[in-house]
């Protein structure tokens, strides 16, 4: 008989990176009754599939021993083996990981306080050592222990749980070795720097979680619902499916639904990336969080708050993060054989010659300690972060922000890049591309159109006014100006009645000639939005607008394709406009996509064996950014796109994506050089120490020299290319 499994979700506090998630997964998966485990670093959650024999209190204790706090999420019912003290058991551990609320400032967290204490103790030890040199070694050891005791405790607990070779174990052995050979100062410094790195990881992870959860704030807190002919304000999350809500101009729509009465322009840039509001009427679908622009709407709710579009985007982001294979930090992977190998070699060198051949114990223990010092991973620990830090600094000067070494490494492997259109490949702002004269000259057409649009904040109106200003066209005052819902604007200029609106609306007022219709359709055919100007009963002219490609888009895409990288456009914009831009830029186009469609396409490309980067600037790109191997936020991106992404291009240049990939290749080459130098020097001095040519002091110089060399080599990355 198959055991019935239950799903329980937990909040995991203090989890900052993929290595943290891996440790938790390894430990929990071995617990009795556990069928499956899914750990999300971004969401800070663990989803547990277990049967009735699973003891959640024991699981909480195990996770607590690793330095994390486990708390059942609201609505989770404890099983038969669980009691009300689950969080208390987790909270008893006071190791290096932070169990506090994500909203607590970093300097008030346990991890922050531990780092501050370790740094203060290090400074005090330097002062005491200078004042009283005879106690320098001991004060540095004391300073080191402040940070090392929690690290060592976590290393021991992880080893007991089946993960002996963690980065905590590496740091514990390195610091202990430094004390044995009298390098307490170095040991204390390395421990402090390790704590600083972990603290920064925690701060970054906390911001990412807050940003993703902040998506839900885009949905208004309250909604106006109709009941028995009356309107009543209620909490938005209490609105039931089937209810009728009233949305006034300028308000955000509180729920996914269908318009039952009214017609208005809906700003859907939030979800689709459309460059302009979309006119919608009865029976049209609308999404929670989008903005009603210019008319009252009555909407029938089709999804509860927990299932609306925003909620689904949050869920997609979290699931995409969970589906990523945890990437262990390089030094943690390397320590699996390096740390135990060096320790064993040092131990054998110290005892085998005296035991087997009667050699002097003092001489060989001395050699063993020298080998342990040679094996101290200081140069290795610094080699990778030094190169990464230099690359991050170099990239930042160019407006390229990358979130750590894993991103740098992955960028160099990219074989496909998916771009959003609006605001990524294009400027994100419609521009007047054509002023067409029919019954009046071009200057008159632009002048009268600008007169009607004066004072409007609509993106198309702004583009007309901007073009008039650029062409130094006079803009006369317009009288009796007003907007006609869904059609255009009217007014009087110089005693002439004017109308500016869509070709269809203009055709209802004045018959368009076949030539005029053909010209308008030709402009529409290349993805342009056309507004027709009527002066009295005459078709005065037309104005065409389009969101144009960024100035460097064509060259930037060519750089990628020349490097053998596949490029694809993924956009929520209409197919005709997208294909027009795609043809202009020479890029494959997938259009009219919702956020989940973009994520699905990214997943499909990954299944084809491609290493995928996704470039976008909006909330609608967040799921695909998270699902890609590397997510890159572009230009004036939303906070959630920036936090969800692994990297960001601040200056909005398409060519900067190729620059990121080039920076990755240079960085990884530099890291490989550093590792070769660090290990090469250690190998040389390992041999010379065993045969008696060198001793402790040369061993110290070898380790220090390697550290200096790898640092200098890494600094080469700071130079402009």
Q: Compute the distance between CA of residue 671 and CA of residue 153 in angstroms, rounded to an integer.
A: 31
Q: What is the dihedral of CA 425, 427, 432, 434, to 10 degrees?
A: -20
Asked if 565 contacts 588 with a C-beta cutoff of 8 angstroms, the reply is no
Look up 420 and say whether it is catalytic. Answer: yes
Q: Please report the beta strands in 297-421, taking only residues with DSSP state E, as ranges in sequence order.
A: 297-301, 400-402, 416-419
Classify the phi-psi angles of 622: left when phi > 0, otherwise alpha if psi is within -120 to 50, otherwise beta.
alpha
Q: What share of the chain is helix, strand, coil (3-state, %, to 5)?
A: 55, 20, 30
- Could you give the 3-state DSSP secondary structure of residue 49? strand
Per-residue burial over 652-679, b = 16 or more CB atoms within 10 Å of its CB, e = otherwise: bbbbbbbbbbebbebbbebbebbbebbb
Q: What is the dihedral of CA 227, 231, 233, 237, to 10 degrees?
A: 40
Question: Tokens 């309250």 sit at which residue?
Answer: 222
Question: Tokens 């622009």 sit at which residue?
Answer: 293
Q: Compute the distance between CA of residue 580 and CA of residue 526 in angstroms, rounded to an integer.
A: 5
DSSP assignment string, 252-277: BP-S-EEEEE--EEEE-HHHH--SS-
Alpha-carbon Rg for the chain in angstroms = 32
Asked if 56 contacts 78 with a C-beta cutoff of 8 angstroms, the reply is yes
Q: What's the DSSP call for residue 238?
A: G
- Of the listed 16, 98, 332, 420, which one is catalytic? 420
Q: Compute the distance between CA of residue 464 and CA of residue 426 in angstroms, rounded to an integer.
A: 18
Q: Compute the distance between CA of residue 416 and CA of residue 602 in angstroms, rounded to an integer.
A: 10
Long-range CB contacts for residues 409-412, cutoff 8 Å, separation at least 24 = 409/664, 409/668, 410/611, 410/629, 410/630, 410/646, 410/664, 411/613, 411/630, 411/647, 411/660, 411/661, 411/663, 411/664, 412/661, 412/664, 412/665, 412/667, 412/668
- Give the count of alpha carbons within 13 A of 499, CB side only: 20
Q: Compute the distance between CA of residue 555 and CA of residue 562 in angstroms, rounded to an integer.
A: 10
Long-range CB contacts for residues 388-391, cutoff 8 Å, separation at least 24 = 388/667, 388/671, 389/714, 390/670, 390/714, 390/715, 390/716, 390/717, 390/718, 391/663, 391/666, 391/667, 391/670, 391/717
Q: Compute the distance between CA of residue 410 and CA of residue 398 in angstroms, rounded to an integer.
A: 20
Q: Which of 245, 253, 248 is nearest to 271 (CA)?
A: 253
Residue 42 makes CB contacts below 8 A (sequence gap 6+) with 205, 208, 209, 212, 317, 318, 321, 626, 644
Q: Compute the distance between CA of residue 715 and CA of residue 674 in angstroms, rounded to an integer.
A: 11
Asked if 547 contacts 422 with a C-beta cutoff of 8 angstroms, the reply is yes
C-alpha separations of 135 from 50, 138, 373 in Å: 55, 5, 22
Question: Tokens 């901007």 sit at which residue?
Answer: 466
Cα distance from N-terminal residue to C-terminal residue, the chain: 66
CB atoms inside a 10 Å sphere around CB 84? 8
Q: Counting Cβ atoms within 10 Å, is residue 278 exposed (0-12), middle (13-18) or buried (19+)?
A: middle
Asked if 647 contacts 403 with a C-beta cutoff of 8 angstroms, the reply is yes
| Helices assigned H by DSSP within 487-546 | 503-509, 514-525
- Could you give the 3-state DSSP secondary structure of residue 23? helix
Which positions are catalytic?
420
């Amino acid at each position: 008989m198959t055991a019935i499994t239950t799903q329980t979700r937990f909040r995991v506090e203090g989890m900052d990176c993929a290595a943290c998630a891996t440790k938790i997964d390894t430990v929990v998966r071995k617990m009795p009754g556990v069928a499956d485990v899914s750990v999300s670093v971004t969401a800070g959650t663990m989803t547990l599939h277990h049967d009735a024999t699973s003891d959640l209190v024991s699981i909480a204790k195990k996770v607590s021993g690793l330095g994390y706090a486990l708390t059942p999420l609201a609505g989770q019912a404890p099983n038969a083996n669980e009691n009300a003290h689950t969080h208390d058991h987790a909270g008893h551990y006071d190791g290096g990981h932070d169990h506090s609320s994500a909203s607590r400032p970093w300097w008030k967290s346990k991890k922050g306080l531990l780092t501050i204490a370790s740094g203060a103790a290090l400074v005090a030890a330097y002062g005491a050592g200078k004042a009283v040199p005879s106690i320098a070694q001991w004060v540095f050891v004391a300073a080191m222990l402040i940070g090392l005791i929690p690290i060592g405790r976590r290393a021991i607990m992880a080893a007991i749980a089946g993960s002996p070779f963690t980065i905590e174990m590496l740091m514990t052995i390195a610091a202990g070795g430094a004390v044995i050979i009298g390098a307490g100062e170095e040991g204390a410094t390395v421990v402090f720097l390790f704590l600083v790195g972990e603290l920064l990881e925690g701060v970054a992870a906390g911001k990412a979680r807050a940003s993703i959860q902040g998506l839900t704030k885009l949905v208004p807190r309250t909604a106006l619902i109709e009941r028995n002919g009356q309107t009543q304000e209620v909490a938005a999350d209490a609105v039931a499916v089937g209810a009728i809500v009233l949305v006034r101009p300028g308000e955000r729509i509180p729920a996914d639904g269908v318009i039952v009465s009214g017609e208005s322009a809906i700003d859907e840039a939030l979800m689709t990336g459309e460059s302009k509001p979309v006119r919608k009427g009865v029976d049209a679908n609308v999404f929670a969080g989008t903005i009603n622009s210019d008319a009252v709407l009555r909407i029938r709710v089709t999804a509860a708050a927990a299932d609306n579009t925003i909620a689904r985007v949050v869920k997609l982001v979290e699931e995409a993060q969970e589906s990523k294979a945890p990437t262990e930090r390089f030094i943690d992977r390397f320590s699996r054989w390096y740390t135990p190998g060096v320790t064993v070699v040092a131990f054998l060198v110290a005892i085998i010659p005296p035991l087997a051949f009667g050699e002097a114990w003092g001489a060989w223990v001395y050699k063993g300690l020298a080998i342990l010092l040679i094996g101290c991973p200081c140069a290795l620990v610094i080699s990778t972060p030094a190169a990464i830090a230099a690359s991050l600094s170099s990239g930042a000067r160019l407006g390229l922000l990358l979130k750590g070494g894993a991103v740098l490494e992955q960028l160099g492997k990219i074989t496909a890049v998916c771009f959003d259109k609006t605001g990524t490949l294009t400027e994100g702002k419609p521009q007047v591309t054509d002023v067409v004269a029919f019954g009046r000259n071009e200057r008159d057409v632009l002048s009268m159109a600008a007169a009607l649009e004066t004072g409007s904040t609509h993106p198309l109106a702004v583009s007309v006014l901007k073009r008039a200003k650029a062409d130094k066209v006079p803009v006369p005052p317009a009288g009796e100006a007003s907007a006609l819902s869904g059609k255009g604007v009217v007014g009087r200029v110089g005693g002439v009645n004017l109308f500016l609106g869509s070709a269809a609306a203009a055709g209802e007022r004045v018959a368009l000639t076949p030539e005029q219709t053909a010209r308008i359709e030709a402009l529409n055919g290349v993805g342009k939005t056309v507004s027709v100007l009527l002066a009295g009963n005459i078709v005065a002219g037309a104005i065409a607008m389009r969101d144009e490609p960024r100035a460097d888009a064509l060259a930037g895409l060519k750089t990628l394709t020349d490097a053998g990288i596949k490029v694809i456009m993924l956009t929520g914009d209409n197919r005709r406009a997208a294909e027009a831009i795609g043809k202009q830029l020479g890029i494959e186009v997938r259009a009219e996509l919702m956020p989940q469609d973009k994520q699905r396409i990214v997943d499909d490309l990954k299944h084809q064996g491609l290493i995928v980067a996704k470039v976008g600037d909006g909330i609608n790109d967040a799921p695909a950014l998270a699902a890609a191997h590397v997510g890159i936020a572009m230009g004036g991106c939303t906070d959630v796109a920036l936090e969800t992404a692994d990297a960001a291009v601040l200056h909005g240049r398409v060519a900067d994506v190729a620059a990121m990939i080039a920076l990755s290749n240079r960085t990884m080459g530099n890291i490989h050089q550093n590792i070769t130098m660090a290990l090469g020097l250690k190998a040389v001095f390992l041999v010379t120490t065993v045969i008696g040519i060198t001793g402790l002091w040369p061993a110290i110089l070898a380790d220090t020299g390697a550290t200096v060399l790898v640092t200098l080599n890494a600094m080469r990355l700071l130079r402009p290319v």
